[in-house]
Structure 1
Amino acid sequence: MKIVTAHTADLDAETLVEARTLLDDVFDGGLDDHDWDHSLGGVHALVREGPDLVAHGSVVQRRLIHDGRALRVGYIEAVGVRADLRRNGYGAAVMTALERVVRGAYEMGALSSAHEAVGFYAARGWRLWLGRTWALTPDGLRRTEEDDDGVYVLPVTVSPDLSGDLTCDWRDGDVW
């Protein structure tokens, strides 16, 4: 297993196409262009077995508002492991690399988890956000009830009130 971390700007076009193809397979075509775009502009963790890319994840900067304060957050995106290699430590390797970035550069980590992965993140110390979630949209503040049970945070230099409100910045596609 070879793990590489690199900023999007340092990845060549072939590697980005390879990562997008892997994620399309991992998510059975459920990774749309917005999801892919959300994973760009930050640090990627890439895991290879020989020449094959077998796992990917990225961390990008976002602003989340909590308790009247805009927090600098490392937001985890596009974590995926090739289906035939799951439960062999590849996801953990990706998250270890990304969590190092979060702990070294951000006040808090955050992510939106698929139901199938909540145990994985919880076992790594990520904590379920218990309060209400919101998005700061072009039309103003909007509740995102559908995301209330899927947002996880990793406190670094802040100790958030997990039962409070958490508001994300706006972006096209899934806001969380």
Structure 2
Amino acid sequence: MTTATDPATATATEALLTRFAAAVEANDAAALAACFTPDGIYDDYFFGPEQGPDGIAHILAGFYKGGRDFRWQFHDVLAGPGRACARYRFSYRSTAPEAAGTRVCFDGIAWLDLSPDGLIRRYSEVFDRGMALAQQNFAPERIARIGRRYAEALKARAEWVGHL
């Protein structure tokens, strides 16, 4: 299935994602939640899904527990009625003891389900978790343990039954 890009929707989505990134960079949970519908879901690839302003604030608090100096740039936005996707570049300075202040950088893809008024109903993403963890000098066994946990959670989801 393909979704045609609608220039007006893409422009509005680019503006929304600019506000989204600025809110994360400023550690502004209220501004980030304002990008979502009141019952919106932020499904973070590290922390999992959270719903509503309190859940979104919880995710942002998790970001700042493990890092600082965030930078987020969305680009190549494709959008149509009710849906959008964008590529992104994301980086932060890790505060994990092993990382010794290392700048962690990765790229990813964001998927957005949008409400008719252009707010995010659900945000989800995909990026290389292993690369992000390896940059923080985590022990190989720790990276493998984390990777296995994510793999088990993926396989437990109903939509993967046909693949198992």
TM-score by length of 2: 0.33
Which structure shows the higher helix fraction? 2
